[in-house]
Chains A and B, each alone.
Chain A
């Protein structure tokens, strides 16, 4: 298996797509090779910010703890634990999080071993002869909903309810929420994201199959319906995130047992969440649950 890098710089850094590409080798994807850490450290670019948020060690420790905690379980289980804690450790604003170079660096320069651990499929006998199971390229370098770390951070960002990470943990427990729902534009509206989690809470939706049906119905209905109007969110205020980012200097390591606390933003209005949850429930009554088999608990 791919190992933890033998050299870890003190600071996080940025790794451009072009430079990242040459290190995502076949051997790495197969989990058979390591990333040459020192060579990599020479081609990275510095972060645009400094201070506690730029420290590499807390991130690496977090990943180590995740792999340790879930060493006897399916790696997918780690997502619900890691997502809120990664989010609270990095303390990024969205502008920073939209920089793919940071995620490239985390996947190759900080924890390629985690990516392999989490995404290398177990041999299931269906591989073509001579082909070993391998990690999908997009787990190292890819869109926000496929890249190993970006997907966790964005799950936490889009499903947290103000400072409350519980909905994040709830959502990450079903892989289809990450694989299907995270890529939908509709969840950029906070009450919509919360309403979908609310259906998990209520037990209205339990399986991955049902999540996919729900996602399809919500997405189709949003083509004509403006959820933002029927279930308004509070006015956007960017200051709590800014203050939370600044508070990184005095914050300690994120708690391992309890959930951390996110930015002190106003929560999505309960009335809006409830109204949408009720509406989505109605949608689900009509929506035939079909499509490909549920992907729940399947690594990829």
Chain B
């Protein structure tokens, strides 16, 4: 828990994107449909706009803050509200002030330009209330509970993202994959997004995966999918803990990308009952100090199995086979 040496503003601070316009060089701004962003997911998706050569996107913003902030007896003065767009991968930080639009001081609006060349993948958009507190100017007295995501490449405004699936024959294609031509699938965790490569040279595999058959075929397919997912989650977890940035004092940092998400989702099962940061530190310690890393493997396996919903798939399969058996007997 945190404490501050000055009074903070209690109550909800919320941010909303109300419109998005794209700027293509030499042309006037083109408003996008509101479908390009989701106030439910709090995501702006700039990948499916149909404009390839856009240069910047103007986000119209609206923030709501508790009216206490600007009450005469609040103890704060020079209250301002700023929107901040950041992306760790590009060290980008854009700050714009919003303007109060209602007398109550609750609604603040403004706009922020997202320069495409300043961002790579996903930028975070947050809003802060800043004021002079106890004579000190520029104190952050409140921050929005939720951040928006500005996704440069997604077509759908969703927070969740999917790992990639590549369907290809392993005999061909990239060098590194060729030695694996005998296996049905392999997980590549090196790219911007982890990818499962499914080997079409493994006969019948893709038919089984994409088939619509029910009965035994359907049961086997669901079990196979669960097995593949178990493999994937195990691999991505190892990839994520194996490539942590470490602070000077040895504290491992959560990665910014999908690796961070994977760790956040799986660590509670790997190190139950621990705060995330502590769990990450412990896993990192065990991996690097060569003690306890082996002991951790069953827990990683457990977390991956759970994440892949393997127990559910397996019991469904077993029950399904029983039923088929009974039908055959009858």
Residues of A within 8 A of B86 (CB): 185, 188
CB pair B176–A19 under 8 Å, yes or no, is yes
CB pair B140–A226 under 8 Å, yes or no, is yes
* Top-4 shortest CB links A-B: A18-B190, A238-B115, A93-B117, A230-B138
Query: How far, in whole Å, are A296 and B84 apart by their CA atoms in the complex?
Result: 34
Query: How far, in whole Å, are A242 and B175 apart by their CA atoms in the complex?
Result: 36
A158-170 contact mask (Cβ, 8 Å, vs B): 1 or 0: 1000000000000
Which of A22, A93, A226, A230 has the most chain B CB within a 10 Å cutoff? A226
Residues of B within 8 A of A242 (CB): 55, 117
CB pair B139–A225 under 8 Å, yes or no, is yes
Stretch at the interface among B68-76, B90-98, B199-207: B90-98
Among B6, B117, B121, contact of A224 (Cβ-Cβ < 8 Å): B6
- Jot down 27 A-B pairs with beta carbons below 8 A, ordered by A: A16-B191, A18-B190, A19-B175, A19-B176, A21-B190, A22-B176, A94-B90, A94-B92, A94-B119, A94-B120, A98-B89, A99-B120, A144-B91, A157-B91, A189-B93, A224-B5, A224-B139, A224-B140, A225-B140, A226-B138, A229-B95, A229-B130, A229-B138, A238-B115, A238-B116, A242-B55, A242-B117
Query: How far, in whole Å, are A233 and B24 apart by their CA atoms in the complex?
Result: 25
Residues of B within 8 A of A189 (CB): 93, 95
Which residues of B are at the interface with A, using a C-beta cutoff of 8 A? 4-6, 55-56, 80, 82, 84, 86, 88-97, 113, 115-121, 128, 130, 136-140, 174-176, 188-191, 245, 248
Residues of A within 8 A of B97 (CB): 229
Residue of A nearest to B116 (CB): A95
The answer to whether the Cβ of A67 comes within 8 Å of any Cβ in the partner chain is no
Residues of A within 8 A of B82 (CB): 226, 228-229
CB pair B91–A188 under 8 Å, yes or no, is yes
Number of interface residues of A (CB under 8 A): 41
Residues of B within 8 A of A187 (CB): 91
The answer to whether the Cβ of A283 comes within 8 Å of any Cβ in the partner chain is no
If A43-B175, A188-B92, A224-B4 are given as contacts, then 5 extra A-B residue pairs at C-beta distance below 8 Å, sorted by A number, are A94-B92, A95-B90, A142-B245, A157-B91, A229-B95
Residue of B nearest to A241 (CB): B117
CB pair B95–A95 under 8 Å, yes or no, is no
Residues of B within 8 A of A22 (CB): 176
A163-199 contact mask (Cβ, 8 Å, vs B): 1 or 0: 0000000000000000010000101110000000000
Query: How far, in whole Å, are A209 and B218 apart by their CA atoms in the complex?
Result: 65
Query: How far, in whole Å, are A19 and B93 apart by their CA atoms in the complex?
Result: 31
Residues of A within 8 A of B136 (CB): 225
CB pair A230–B175 under 8 Å, yes or no, is no
Query: How far, in whole Å, are A16 and B191 apart by their CA atoms in the complex?
Result: 7
CB pair A236–B140 under 8 Å, yes or no, is no
Among B56, B96, B117, B189, contact of A94 (Cβ-Cβ < 8 Å): B117
The answer to whether the Cβ of A290 comes within 8 Å of any Cβ in the partner chain is no
Query: How far, in whole Å, are A42 and B89 apart by their CA atoms in the complex?
Result: 28
Q: Which of A213-259 contact B (CB under 8 A)?
A: 224-230, 232-233, 235-236, 238-239, 241-242, 245
The answer to whether the Cβ of A26 comes within 8 Å of any Cβ in the partner chain is no
Residues of B within 8 A of A294 (CB): none
Q: With A43-B174, A226-B82, A233-B95 as given contacts, are A17 and B190 in contact (CB-CB < 8 Å)?
A: yes
Query: How far, in whole Å, are A288 and B128 apart by their CA atoms in the complex?
Result: 30
Query: How far, in whole Å, are A213 and B307 apart by their CA atoms in the complex?
Result: 44
Query: How far, in whole Å, are A194 and B49 apart by their CA atoms in the complex?
Result: 37
Residues of A within 8 A of B93 (CB): 185, 188-189, 228
CB pair A158–B91 under 8 Å, yes or no, is yes
A82-97 contact mask (Cβ, 8 Å, vs B): 1 or 0: 0000000000011101
Residues of A within 8 A of B175 (CB): 19, 42-43
The answer to whether the Cβ of A143 comes within 8 Å of any Cβ in the partner chain is yes
Among B80, B118, B120, contact of A238 (Cβ-Cβ < 8 Å): B118
Residue of B nearest to A291 (CB): B248
A72-83 contact mask (Cβ, 8 Å, vs B): 1 or 0: 000000000000
A139-155 contact mask (Cβ, 8 Å, vs B): 1 or 0: 00011100000000010
Q: With A143-B245, A188-B86, A238-B56 as given contacts, are A43 and B176 in contact (CB-CB < 8 Å)?
A: yes
A14 to chain B, nearest CB (A): 11
CB pair B120–A154 under 8 Å, yes or no, is no
Residues of A within 8 A of B4 (CB): 224
Residue of B nearest to A222 (CB): B140
Among A95, A232, A233, contact of B118 (Cβ-Cβ < 8 Å): A95
CB pair B90–A226 under 8 Å, yes or no, is no
Query: How far, in whole Å, are A230 and B115 apart by their CA atoms in the complex?
Result: 24
Query: How far, in whole Å, are A255 and B90 apart by their CA atoms in the complex?
Result: 27
A16-30 contact mask (Cβ, 8 Å, vs B): 1 or 0: 111101100000000
Residue of B nearest to A145 (CB): B245
CB pair B190–A236 under 8 Å, yes or no, is no
Residue of A nearest to B80 (CB): A229
CB pair A98–B90 under 8 Å, yes or no, is yes
Residue of B nearest to A192 (CB): B93
Residue of A nearest to B152 (CB): A95
Query: How far, in whole Å, are A291 and B128 apart by their CA atoms in the complex?
Result: 32
Residues of A within 8 A of B176 (CB): 18-19, 22, 43
CB pair B115–A236 under 8 Å, yes or no, is yes
Query: How far, in whole Å, are A18 and B6 apart by their CA atoms in the complex?
Result: 48
Residue of A nearest to B121 (CB): A98
